[in-house]
Amino acid sequence: MTTYSDHLPSLDHQPYQHLFKPGFVHRRLYIDEDIFQQELLYLYGRTWLYIAHESEIANPNDFITRRVGGRPLIISRHATGSIHAFFNRCTHRGAIVCREPRGNTKGFICGYHAWTFNITGECTSVPLRQGYGKSFNLAQASLQPVARLESYRGFIFASYSKDVPSLTEHLGAAARLIDQWLDRGEKEPVVVQNGAMPFLVNANWKTIYDNAGDGYHPPFSHESMLKVFSNRYGDVDMNYYGSDFDKSPMYSKNLGNGHTFLDQRPEMHKLSAWKRQHVMPGYEVMENALIEKYGEAHALPMLDASTGSGMNLNIFPNLLIIGNQIQMPEPLAANKTLLTWFATSREGVPEEINAIRMRMQEDFPSFGEVDDSANFEACQEGMASIPEMAWIDIRRHQDTKVGALDPADQLWREPMSSDLHMRTYWQRWQELMNAGATRALVEAGVA
């Protein structure tokens, strides 16, 4: 089995070491524009990134355009069904070739000098080609594909560097949890064609990433939401954050390679996920309609499988699977991130189920995410503006010694409120960034 370390030069260059001390990370990691630019090269440039879901380009000649890790991409499907991803940058003068967010086409024509490319990015014509002389090679003018492209059960990943292990090795233990997220109910295919909420957050991408595995904040950041729901509906989902939830069966887990997992299923799906789901528009009428159509014995399992997954699966650095949604944090600047929440539906379920899934997926973004975003922006402002206070605290459950290997899978787990997630991904961050910085020195001939 190859690991990332097999791909590293032996030089032990650690330019970021001074920004870490046990239980703390330095504010510069969140506010420094140079480090941000280095992240785009060393981190986003040298690991697997989630770029799209296969259902977003379901049909032959479908394409989407999207920035991932800063790079504008075209992601497309050829008539034969094959999936392609290439940089959306004309090989001629560097213009963005395709300026539409999505569509169906046989090819792309650059608006500047009409260099033309097919759906797989191959250059098919260049106007007045004779002007380039006899040596001109059309194949060399093709749009540049990403270095590696692989899918795992519909999730398309790309790497901008060839030197990464296989996607399966990268995902490691996270793959089994993707399976669990997909294989609910009757395992109807998950579809990502239901629109998205793109949140613009004035905070570093890691402030958002920190939160994705922060099982400490829910009862405090989301107190307003929890109050409304428990006042109205009693013991519904997330009410279990009302007491010492570190004593609950929920947990935080290190999946390796920087990936982490928060499992709320032991509480959220206790007895019946649907019965514990707080209401959304259509809750009662759709429940009644489904029971009438299919009988209670059939309808309730369908409804149980429609609720939020109770999983927060964080695949470093840019795929966050939460509830029924897929989130992509996209770094825009040291202090600016686009956090897109993609809604999902399931193919082949009764349309009542997908309708309540839509309304359910609107709940947390407008009742919870808004407060998260406000807190992220408050963090960014505080970190950026006070040089006298340099350190960010990630100590929770570091010294309590309550972490242990899960006997079921030999993975390290800690209580729900642990900062295990942050300590896990920061370690990965350092591995990738140190390796990238080292390689840059080697490539520059300095080392």
Partner 1 sequence: MKPETKTTSFDLAFYDRMAAVLNAWKHLGEIPLDKIPPHGMMEEITRLLYLESRLIDQRRLREWLDLFAADGAYWIPADVDYRDPRRTIAWEFNDRRRLEERVERLETGQAYSQIPPTRTVHLLSNIEGMLADDGLLHVLCNFHIPAQRGQDHQARSGWCGYIFRKENKHWKIVLKRVNLFDADQPQSNLSFTL
CB of 23 to partner 1, least distance (A): 26
Q: Which residue's CB is nearer to partner 1, number 152 or number 274?
A: 274
CB of 405 to partner 1, least distance (A): 37
CB of 333 to partner 1, least distance (A): 13
Q: Which residue's CB is nearer to partner 1, number 60 or number 282?
A: 282
Q: Which residue's CB is nearer to partner 1, number 168 or number 272?
A: 272
Q: Which residue's CB is nearer to partner 1, number 158 or number 226?
A: 226
CB of 197 to partner 1, least distance (A): 5
Q: Which residue's CB is nearer to partner 1, number 67 or number 78?
A: 67
CB of 362 to partner 1, least distance (A): 6
Binding site for partner 1 (CB under 8 A): 193-202, 221, 223-225, 227-229, 231-234, 279-286, 289, 338, 341, 343, 345, 351-352, 354-355, 358-359, 361-363, 365-367, 370-371, 373-375, 378
Q: Which residue's CB is nearer to partner 1, number 374 or number 389?
A: 374
CB of 224 to partner 1, least distance (A): 4
CB of 363 to partner 1, least distance (A): 8
Q: Which residue's CB is nearer to partner 1, number 246 or number 287?
A: 287
Assess contact for 255 and 261: CB atoms under 8 A. Answer: yes
CB of 157 to partner 1, least distance (A): 23
What lies within 8 Å, CB to CB, of 203 at 6+ separation is 335, 336, 337, 373, 376, 377, 379, 380
Task: Return d(Cα 304, Cα 39) in angstroms, integer.
Answer: 41
Q: Which residue's CB is nearer to partner 1, number 221 or number 430?
A: 221
CB of 69 to partner 1, least distance (A): 17
Task: Return d(Cα 352, Cα 285) in angstroms, integer.
Answer: 9
Q: Which residue's CB is nearer to partner 1, number 264 or number 354?
A: 354
